[in-house]
Structure formats: structure tokens, C-alpha cells
Structure 1
Amino acid sequence: MARRDSKSWRRSRTLSTTFLDDALRDNKTLVSSAPSSSICAKYRPPSSSSTSPLHPDILDHSILFAGTGSEVRRVLKRAMRSALYGLKRHREGSEGEVQKFEGEEPFRILVLGGSVSNCRGVDQKTECWHAHVLRWFQRTFPMEGDRDLVPNSPSRLFPSSSSRVRLHKRDAAEDGNFDADADRLRLAKRAAKRKSKKKPGRTKSSHAGSRRRPSTQLINGSKSATGSAFFAYCFEEEMTLRRKNLDWGKGPDLVVVESGVNDVWPGGEQATRDFEKLLRTLRALPSQPAVVALEAASLLLASTTAATTNAEYDHLPAAHFYDVPVLSVKHALFGPVHGLSSSSAPDGPLNKIDDLFLPDLHHPNDRGHELLADVLLAYLEQQACLAQQEVMAAATSRLNAHQSGVRLIGGRRDGDVDPLLDIPPRQDEVVRPLPARSLFTPFSFDKKGHKVDEGVWELPKPTCIQVGNAKSLVEPVKNKGCVLAGSLASSSPANDEQHDRWSKLAWARDKQYLAASKPGSSVTFRVNVGSGGTILADWLHSRFYDLGDVLVYLDGDRSRVKQLAGWWDLGWSIGVPTEVFKDVSPGEHDVTFELLPASKSSHPSSKNVNFRLIGLIST
């Protein structure tokens, strides 16, 4: 088994770029601070006569806020360290050994977003933007556990470009085999077939020295029709419901947040507040990940909202405050640069912006996903180059200080990088501290004008109930059918009343609701309110699906009801956690939702309506 693993990893090892090779070969300055290699080659080809349909500066103009990049470089060094350990074993011929080096661990990438990151309309394993990102990590920092590599495919942005064909052949040549990816897939299928043929029986326990070889893992935590607010309040709940099928380990190393499309509503200060809560929640995770905001583009939104109302601009204050890079396809395509180059050939493969989108003009197609990935990868390549420089500078400083000439990796002396000595382990990383105050907290001063230290701002711990999720164990305390406000109880038979109750509706895997379609049906949940004193509801907003309104009231007090509208006249459908009650006393409270008839709802027609409740949140 060790021999097969060794051969498999040697094949994946040939995919590495110069990052690891040069770090281990000598300590010369290899890279500039500019993004490099194949990604920029698409937009800055060597031939001046190129008819590239996209503006050559599109990647540069996609950086809305670069930040210092220190947090991104910090976690990229984690991936570099594990890859270097594997390379060390490979060069020493000790791949079959089961010893685990200190600090060697998988690299986990967590994706949070809406339907774009859920790969609507494209193949999630090959065409979705994060499939391209996973492939880049496997090529750049190959680890021993990276057995099933994401297949390498030609660019869909420039399918007829001869320069792209040459680039694809060059990539294949680097693999050492034009069919290297197909070979890996065949090996994976054979391994799966052998595994399926094994007879069921007691699993053998691993011996004390065994370990799982590190790998690059992508965790897609996206949820369609949701934005920053959902993850800001329901991150722990969502990850808990999904975690059964995840190799969570210590948690994510890199989190990519894609919420620029769905955060367009409610927008403004509320979007900034929600985004800040999300960034603070992610940055406070025990794994101390780096966070990058990747803003997708929607041609539908671009044609209906002004630049000043775009969510990415609402994200900027919090991103600056927490040093989180903001990368925007929207700004690159629709900003002052203009996405399409003036030299675009009329018969080229990409003649207009909508060639990057699905027919709904709201979600990117495979070419749009490739561009979205390129925007992120151009930034990651830049930070990886700078991280490599920092690691090699540390190696040089160490060797100059000791002048020992001790043999390190592969039998070489000066200039070699030792992953144990030159890349700090997780516990010794210098992590950028969280701001002590909120972005919205005013500074306090005493009577003498001295600033008062008010301590560290702590987010009130949220309790999130995904009421329609099939995996949720929380049930309503009451679920009644056909009891209209101010009317007599329904005389419907018991089976009709059962039919009229609120029930779970699975529209899709990640679109699950508690729905009602009979006016007067009510459902009550018991929530525990903490120090935040707020209760929020999350429900579907859409001009489709005949959505109506509900009344919501607290502890049976119908004198203080709120009316929530499901219908709106916008071209997209989303759910947004919205504050319903505030200044609620701590403790248990009952929250009731009651469906109104169409005549009393905001729906423009008088047809039958329904309501789709997503969740209930308290702080």
C-alpha cells in the first residue's frame, strides 16, 4: 500500500509550480510582487496582436481592497509547510514511513456563499469557481494526500485562442504526461472498486504510529438564496448540521466569503453591520483562519442597481476594519475599466458581457466561474510569492546567524528551507488581533478628554433554529390549522386540520422551509433570548411562488403584532434574517407566526398565497 501511495504522490508532485522547488533549491529572489504565471497570461499575452476580449487590466481592477495580506500569507505558509514535509520524505525516500512531523496537517478551505458558490448551472467538480481554486492549491502546494486531483481543462474564456492551447499543452507537459489527469481518475476508480468489493466486517483499528496523510480539502458551506446575515447568526448551526459529512479537524485555514450578490438587500448600514458580524465570527474561530471576500457579479443586479448601492461597497468599511481583502468581479466588469477590451474581435468567443452569464443573467456560466476563480487566484499567487520570499528570508537569516553548514533537505547546505525551523508552527503564528471595539462603537472620553477603555466588544451569542431543515431537532410547541384571528375555531375534520398545518418543504437540498398555505394556520416556537435582547426571523422574499404575509407576535400578545411580507417586486429570491423584536427580556419566549389571507397580504393578486419560513434567531 505504501508503494502505491508513493507512486501516486510522485505523479501529483510533478504538478508543483516553482514555489516549493525554488524554496528548497536556493534562496534567490525569484518573484516580484505582481501577480504572475498562467492566469495573467490570459489577459496579458506576449503577442501585441492578441484579440483577447477581456481588458488586460481586468485582474488589477478587481482588487477593491487589497489589505496588508499578512493573514493570507500566514495561512498559505501552513499549506507550504505540509507540502515541504511531503517533499522532504520524497527526497529522502521515506514516504512509506508513518511518522508525523510536527505541524504537518491538512489545509482546509471553507467557502461561504449563495447559489453562485453552490455552482448553480455548472458542474461543481470541474467548472465551479472553487474547483479551479482547489486545483491551484493542489498544483502549487501538492500534499501526499492529494490523490484525486481536480482535472485540468482548457480555458473556456478563450476556447479558440491558439495561445491558450499552447498553455494547456505546456501544463500537460509539466505533468509529465498529457493524460496525467485521466490516469489519476482511473487509479481513483480502481481504488474505489477494490474498496466496494471488500466484505463487511469489523474495521481494524489503526496502530499507534499510523496517520492520515495531509491533503488539501475544500468544504463548501454555501447555501442558496442567503447572504452575510445568515452566516453571521447561523454559522455554528449550519456547520453543525453539515459537519457529519465533513472532515472539519481544527477548522478552516482559509475562508472565502462570496456574498456580494445576495447582500444587495437590505443593503446600506444593515449590510455593513451584518458583514462585520460575519467577519468577526470567522476571525474568532479557534483555527484562526484568514478571510477573503470574493464578490461575484450579476448582470441583472448591475442593470437595476447603482454602483453606490452595490453590496461590495457596503462591505468595504468592515473589510478595512478587519484587514480582509475584497476582490470584485463586479468592479472589474462594470467599473471604470470596462470588462470588454476595445480590441475584441467581432467573431471572437466572447463578444459581450452576457456571454459570461446563464440565461437568467444573474448567475455566472462556466466562463463566468473561470473569471471569478482567476480574480481570486491572481491575488493568491501574489501573496504566495510574497510568503515564499518571507520563508526564504527566514532561512537565510537562520543560516547566516549559525554559519553551521548543517545538511538539511536533500543533502544540500546553504539556502535550503527547513519547514520546521523556517515556518512557524500554528501555535507560534503571529495573528492579527481582533479590534477591541465594533466598527459602530463610538469612542468614549472622560471629563478630562481622556479616552476610556471599555473593554473588548463581544458579540451576543446567537441561537439559530433552521425550522424547515430536515436535520433540525427543534420542533414547534404549537402547530394549528385554520384558526383565523377573531373568528370561531374551524369546524374542519381532524385530518383537514392536519393538512392545513405548517409543514416542512424541501425545495432543494439547501432550500428547506417550514411552509403554510391555509390562511389562519399558525405555528409557535419557543426561543431562549440572551443578553442581546433581540428576535429575528428569516423567510423567503420573492415575486414568484405566490408568497403572502404573516402576522408574528410574542408570548401570545396579539396587541403587538408585526406583519412580515413574503412578496416583493424584485427579480431575485433570497432570505434575509431581519430583526422583528428588540429589547426583549432574557429568558424563554414563544414566537407565533400566523398566515394571512391573500386579501390582507402584500401580494398584488387575490389568489391563494403561502409563506416559507426559513429560520428563527435570538440573541
Structure 2
Amino acid sequence: MTMQNGAVAATGSRYMSMCFLEHVDDDADIIFTEFAVNDQRNEPNAESFEWLLRQLLELPKRPAVINVQTFGLGYAQLTTGGDVHIAFANYYDAPLISLRNALLPQLLETRSAAPSYFAKLHTGVTDFKHINNRGHQMLADLLIAYTQRQLCTLSHPTPAPSSSSLPSYDNLPVDVEGIPPLRLFQNYNDPPAPHLSPYCSSTRTLKTPLVPAFNDGKWENWTFTATGGSAKTYIRATEPGAKIGFKVPVRGGMGRVRVSFLQSSTFGLGICKCWLDEAKDEAVLVDGFWQSPLNLAGTQTVTNKATIGEHMLWCELTGHTRDPEGRTEFRLIGIDAA
């Protein structure tokens, strides 16, 4: 058995929906997803999670996909983006294992026990946003128990009832297998969802690393190392006017090209403008500053009108910023196209 860890810290399904093959191989038999906390509860994240789930289920070996969900007590609400994922897990008949369902009722009754399931910051204060080893062990135990139940069912199958004993509703099929032709974000009368062949290049992968085709010398490969030792790599610029370009192949399906970047309220991030090919007059503004206390990877669509073929994606750091201290740094993570 080969185990592969495709997790990317502080990154949600908006990035992973188009970049998952940079982090896992396409011949997997079982894939576990976990985006309950890093996905905020909004529609773009929900749509991205559905695209990810569809594409994982479409991989050559038709892997089993199990959605695992952690939780935190240090957020504005107990509900997270993982609650929106439940609808898609149900629609695609994908199992979902929730640590919150198992543990939160106990912690509400015995609040003094909560710190023993969450990590400690270097200051010694409990980090209620991240479970610790004990929390991970409990989640693993839930996953093991579920897997054992499935193995037991396979080894002691229950005979299927005869079709004559089942209720009939307009001769509808009793058991429909396979991936639904429509996404939940489509209309009932829409054509089937396209099969995507996304392109992704990222600072977080060795398969297709993010390498510029043009750099005016003001962008640099740069690694941020957090307290505790975790490192995150970016292509960074700090000087307004800095310009960089990347070759990006569009293979069809959506005509969409996006950039991934860091969002933070504390790192002094500014605004970049990005455009495709010569369409600088259609440039979009990509803002690294947001009001959330979280530091997470964000994505921004540059265009939805890209034709099939190779293009150039350009980004230029502006002198504009919403950072209270007037800083203009920008940290690129990746680009994707589908």
C-alpha cells in the first residue's frame, strides 16, 4: 500500500479544485478530502468543492472518495464551509465523517475538556482553530470504525430484495450508479457538465512549479517560515510597477484563467492587476488584503473568455493598497486554467 499526503496548509477547495493533480496521483484507489475549516461558508467555495468532488470521482480508477471534516471553536461561528459540503456529499453519494458531530456535544456539556483536543500556540495559549494529536487520533478512530463497518458489510453481504418486491414509481430505475450528469449548480435543463482537463502551476508543487516566462527582476521566489517551523513558498513583489508573466495553456471546458495568492490582514498586502495576453484594458484587480483574521490562499478569476490554446498571463503590482500602514507587498501562489 502506498500512502500519499496531498494536503496543502491554509488552502481551500478553490485552489485544489483545479490543482489537485499537482498533489495526488491519478491512479489512487481511495482519496480523503478535508476542507471543512479552510473553506469559508460561501457559494464560490461550495461550487469549487463540487468541481473537486466530480473530478476525483472521474479519475481513471474511479476511486472511493471519503470526506473527512474537522472543526474549530475559535471561529466566529460553529458552522463552517464544511456544512455546505454536506449537500454535495449526499448528491454524489460520498461518505462524510465529521469530528464535530461526534465531539462537539460532549464539549458543550464539559467545556473544561475542550483544551485537551486543541493545539497549543508557542505562547502556551490554546489554539481553538486547530485540533491537536488527540483530536486527530479521535478523527482517525472514527475513520477506522467506518472502514471496518464497510469491510464487514462486504464480507457478509445482505441479499438484495427482488425487483418485484420493490415499489415502482413510473418505472424509474431503482439504483442509479455513476456520476450525475449535472452539477448541483446547474439548471435541470442545462447540458451535461463538461469533463475538465485543468492546468495548474504552483509554488506548492514540484510537478509543475510556478516559473515565470517573463520577470522584470522585481519578483522573487520567497519562503515564509512561521513560528513552529511550517514553511510556505511564494513569488513575491514589494515594489509598485513590478511586472511578471506566465505561459498558461487553456485546454477547454470553461475558458477560465485564475490566479491564486495569499490573503491576509496582517502581512501588509497590496493590490495587483492581472490580464490575459494583450487585454490590459480588461485587467482585474487582485487584492491581497482582507478583513478576516485568517491567512488563507485566495483565488481570483482573470477571465472566463479564454480560447483553447496557449496564452500569456500578466500581473503588475500597483501602488494601491487597503493595508492600514500603506504596504504594497503581494504574494503569488499559482495559476490555473480550465
State the TM-score, normalizing by the size of structure 1: 0.47
What does 1:184-263 correspond to in 2, within 5 Å?
216-239=1-24, 251-263=27-39
Query: 1:615 aligns to what?
Result: 334
The superposition leaves residues 407-439 of structure 1 with CA deviations (integer Å, 9 ceiling, x where unpaired) of xxxxxxxxxxxxxxxxxxxxxxx9941112222
Distance in 2 (CA, whole Å) between partners of 1:438 and 1:526 is: 30
CA separation of 1:281 and 1:470: change in aligned 2, threshold 3 A: closer
Q: Name which of 287, 290, 294 aligns with 1:572.
A: 294
Q: Is the 8 A contact 1:468 1:514 kept in 2?
A: no
Q: Which has the larger radius of gyration?
A: 1
Partner secondary structure for residue 361 of structure 1: strand
Structure 2 residue 219 is the aligned partner of structure 1 residue 502:
yes
Distance in 2 (CA, whole Å) between partners of 1:375 and 1:261 is: 18
For 1:439, the aligned partner's letter is L
CA separation of 1:471 and 1:440: change in aligned 2, threshold 3 A: closer
Query: 1:370 aligns to what?
Result: 137
Q: Name which of 239, 243, 250 aligns with 1:529.
A: 250
CA separation of 1:473 and 1:225: change in aligned 2, threshold 3 A: closer
Q: Name which of 66, 74, 78 aligns with 1:292.
A: 66
Query: 1:84 aligns to what?
Result: none
Q: Is the 8 A contact 1:327 1:375 kept in 2?
A: yes
CA separation of 1:353 and 1:560: change in aligned 2, threshold 3 A: same
Distance in 1 (CA, whole Å) between partners of 2:209 and 2:38 is: 28
CA separation of 1:364 and 1:474: change in aligned 2, threshold 3 A: closer
The CA deviation at 1:471 is 5.7
Q: Is the 8 A contact 1:277 1:459 kept in 2?
A: no
Query: 1:80 aligns to what?
Result: none
Distance in 2 (CA, whole Å) between partners of 1:282 and 1:510 is: 27
For 2:289, the aligned partner's letter is W
CA separation of 1:383 and 1:603: change in aligned 2, threshold 3 A: same
Q: Name which of 187, 192, 201 aligns with 1:442.
A: 187
Q: Name which of 307, 313, 318 aligns with 2:88.
A: 318
Distance in 2 (CA, whole Å) between partners of 1:467 and 1:371 is: 32
Query: 1:554 aligns to what?
Result: 276
Distance in 2 (CA, whole Å) between partners of 1:617 and 1:544 is: 26
Q: Is the 8 A contact 1:283 1:290 kept in 2?
A: yes
Distance in 2 (CA, whole Å) between partners of 1:434 and 1:470 is: 31
What does 1:340-355 correspond to in 2, within 5 Å?
340=107, 342=109, 351-355=112-116
For 1:361, the aligned partner's letter is F
> Which one has a larger percent strand, Structure 1 or Structure 2?
2
Q: Is the 8 A contact 2:69 2:96 kept in 1?
A: yes
Partner secondary structure for residue 268 of structure 2: coil
| Unmatched segments (≥5 aa) in structure 2 | 120-125, 161-174
What does 1:11-50 correspond to in 2, within 5 Å?
none
For 1:605, the aligned partner's letter is E
Query: 1:356 aligns to what?
Result: 117
Number of aligned positions between the proteins: 313
Structure 2 residue 46 is the aligned partner of structure 1 residue 272:
yes
CA separation of 1:467 and 1:256: change in aligned 2, threshold 3 A: closer
Structure 2 residue 195 is the aligned partner of structure 1 residue 459:
yes
Q: Is the 8 A contact 2:276 2:302 kept in 1?
A: no
Q: Name which of 133, 141, 153 aligns with 1:386.
A: 153
Query: 2:167 aligns to what?
Result: none
The CA deviation at 1:381 is 2.7
Query: 1:104 aligns to what?
Result: none
Distance in 2 (CA, whole Å) between partners of 1:251 and 1:586 is: 27
Distance in 2 (CA, whole Å) between partners of 1:571 and 1:523 is: 29
Distance in 2 (CA, whole Å) between partners of 1:577 and 1:326 is: 26
Q: Name which of 314, 321, 324 aligns with 1:601.
A: 321
For 1:384, the aligned partner's letter is L
Q: Is the 8 A contact 1:538 1:575 kept in 2?
A: yes
The CA deviation at 1:315 is 0.6
For 2:140, the aligned partner's letter is A
Query: 1:581 aligns to what?
Result: 303
The CA deviation at 1:375 is 2.6
Distance in 1 (CA, whole Å) between partners of 2:207 and 2:64 is: 29
The superposition leaves residues 510-537 of structure 1 with CA deviations (integer Å, 9 ceiling, x where unpaired) of 7221111122111011222233211111
CA separation of 1:473 and 1:575: change in aligned 2, threshold 3 A: closer
Structure 2 residue 231 is the aligned partner of structure 1 residue 514:
no
Q: Name which of 53, 72, 77 aligns with 1:305.
A: 77
Q: Is the 8 A contact 1:251 1:286 kept in 2?
A: yes
> Which one has a larger percent helix, Structure 1 or Structure 2?
1
Query: 2:57 aligns to what?
Result: 283
CA separation of 1:545 and 1:470: change in aligned 2, threshold 3 A: farther
**Percent of paired sites with the same residue:** 29
Query: 2:172 aligns to what?
Result: none
CA separation of 1:379 and 1:510: change in aligned 2, threshold 3 A: farther
Give the superposed CA RMSD: 2.7
CA separation of 1:593 and 1:467: change in aligned 2, threshold 3 A: farther
Q: Is the 8 A contact 1:467 1:616 kept in 2?
A: no
The CA deviation at 1:556 is 3.7
| Unmatched segments (≥5 aa) in structure 1 | 1-215, 240-247, 345-349, 395-429, 445-451, 481-497
Distance in 1 (CA, whole Å) between partners of 2:205 and 2:239 is: 21
